[in-house]
Amino acid sequence: MSTSVMTPSYRLEQRRRIAGTFPGPNSAALEARRAAVVPKGVASSVPVYAADADGGIIVDVDGNAFIDLGSGIAVTSVGASDPAVVAAVQEQVAHFTHTCFMVTPYEGYVAVAERLAAVTPGDFEKRTVLFNSGAEAVENAVKIARSATGRNAVVAFDHAYHGRTNLTMGLTAKAMPYKTGFGPFAPEIYRMPMSYPFREENPNISGAEAADRAILAIEKQIGADQLAALLIEPIQGEGGFIVPAEGFLPRLAEWAQANGVVFIADEVQSGFCRTGEWFAVQHEGVVPDLITMAKGIAGGMPLSAVTGRAELLDAVHPGGLGGTYGGNPVACAAALAAMDTMESQDLAGRARHIEELVLPRLRALAVEGGGVGDVRGRGAMLAMEFVRPGAKEPDAETAKAVAAACLREGVIVLTCGTYGNVIRLLPPLTIGDDLLLDALDVLETAVLSLG
């Protein structure tokens, strides 16, 4: 690994710029075309259409430049047009776009598997299988765990988000908008209490005690010997950037190992340097049996992966895993380049630097009895939870109003949370300090005037 840290170079000017009317006429025209052909079930957070994006900036079709604090939901961690990713994609696409790895295999797939074996935690032999989306990775991790253990039950947690396919909807906690009207869901899914420090009834409950609360429920309601897998996001994403109390994940992992239960870390949102480590489980030294990955893995190209213990993945019969597009060669080339950028630019270090810049600013907004009830997160995965002043009652309206106020000033921020009352920050890890500080000023002004 190189010792000199490269600074990113940008193709687009890294400056916020809102011109005249907003959204502009070109975005408005696209919105009208869209309404005639795209269903309302597909919703967008922002009413402008992208024309170009680079570093921390998204330029819309009317020439407005927005600071991107969402990265397309934690996807473009290396930026939306990282030169290394662009070059790798162009090179691969000029040779072949697809052969299907199950028909005519190619090196890129194998190289991604080698790379993931190296960057994921765990000093044991690993195997990797590639897919297209996070939901597909989670589905397949469950298939692998069931096949390897001969058991059926799967545990997921309160506030969990694992995707929108039938099995992953069942694993996801929140009904509206993800599940309502879309059932019936797959059986043998059990939901257990999460460690959510800000909303614990007993504020002094330790992480290990919160884990024991879940473990006791599992043993009574399911039976450890019936349980194939315990599936958990080490930092919950859509559920509200919930960081479990220290000790929660290690205790669950230890119990899983003692009981022959496959511990699956869903790192689809928290992986790939986002939290200041390659994977969020590393903050507590937890080594999962299987890790699901997607989002940040390939610089914006659709790719997902399940990496884990060789004996688990090899337990599946030949031909039992796959898919037409899984591990597409263009996506694999992008992933290798994105991982190169993560290493050469030390993006895990960048994520820790972003935390140092942003977290104190957010903490300063969380005054006693105010509207910002909690500030949390790790690295460049940070959030504020809004509550009614003087209470813990969730305040989704203020979270939405703050996001809307930021957008009007040219800063894209996303909301999340079971109660919809969380503002989450997921900037590209390549964003420059000046741009980030400008966005923080906008966010601060919005919170102070609305919160």
- For ligand PLP, the binding residues (CB under 6 A) are 133-135, 138, 161-163, 233, 237-238, 266, 268-269, 294
Those residues with Cβ within 8 angstroms of residue 364's Cβ, 6 or more apart along the chain or in another chain: none
Those residues with Cβ within 8 angstroms of residue 363's Cβ, 6 or more apart along the chain or in another chain: 375
- Residue 228 DSSP class: E
Q: Which is nearer to ligand PLP, 146 or 162 (CB)?
A: 162
Strands 411-412 and 227-232: unpaired
Shortest reach from residue 119's CB to ligand PLP, in Å: 18
Q: Which is nearer to ligand PLP, 59 or 414 (CB)?
A: 414
Please state, in angstroms and as integers, the Cα–Cα distance from residue 211 to each residue in 208, 255, 286, 315, following that order: 5, 9, 14, 29
- Residue 12 DSSP class: S
Q: Which is nearer to ligand PLP, 228 or 294 (CB)?
A: 294
Q: Which is nearer to ligand PLP, 22 or 325 (CB)?
A: 325
Shortest reach from residue 314's CB to ligand PLP, in Å: 24
Q: Copy the structure tokens of residue 399.
A: 């979270």
Say how far residue 235 (Cα) sits from the centre of its chain. 9
The continuous run of DSSP H or E covering 219 comes out as helix 207-221
Whole-number Å distance between alpha carbons of 289 and 275: 20
Shortest reach from residue 70's CB to ligand PLP, in Å: 13
Q: Which is nearer to ligand PLP, 135 or 313 (CB)?
A: 135
DSSP string, 346-408: THHHHHHHHHHHHHHHHHHH--TTSSEEEEEEETTEEEEEEB-TTS--B-HHHHHHHHHHHHH
Q: Which is nearer to ligand PLP, 92 or 172 (CB)?
A: 172
Shortest reach from residue 141's CB to ligand PLP, in Å: 10
Torsion of CA 355, 358, 361, 363, to 10 degrees: -40
Say how far residue 35 (Cα) sits from the centre of its chain. 29
Amino acid at 192: M
Q: Which is nearer to ligand PLP, 10 or 157 (CB)?
A: 157
Whole-number Å distance between alpha carbons of 39 and 27: 18
Shortest reach from residue 380's CB to ligand PLP, in Å: 15
Shortest reach from residue 408's CB to ligand PLP, in Å: 27
Q: Which is nearer to ligand PLP, 75 or 153 (CB)?
A: 75
Q: Which is nearer to ligand PLP, 22 or 185 (CB)?
A: 185
The 8 Å CB, 24+ separation contacts for 397-402 are 398/371, 398/450, 398/451, 399/423, 401/446, 401/450, 402/443, 402/446, 402/447, 402/450, 402/451
Beta strands in 258-327 (DSSP E): 262-266, 290-293, 304-309
Shortest reach from residue 239's CB to ligand PLP, in Å: 9
Q: Which is nearer to ligand PLP, 76 or 133 (CB)?
A: 133
Shortest reach from residue 210's CB to ligand PLP, in Å: 20
Shortest reach from residue 180's CB to ligand PLP, in Å: 18
- Residue closest to ligand PLP when measured from CB atoms: 134
- Residue 78 DSSP class: T
Shortest reach from residue 75's CB to ligand PLP, in Å: 9
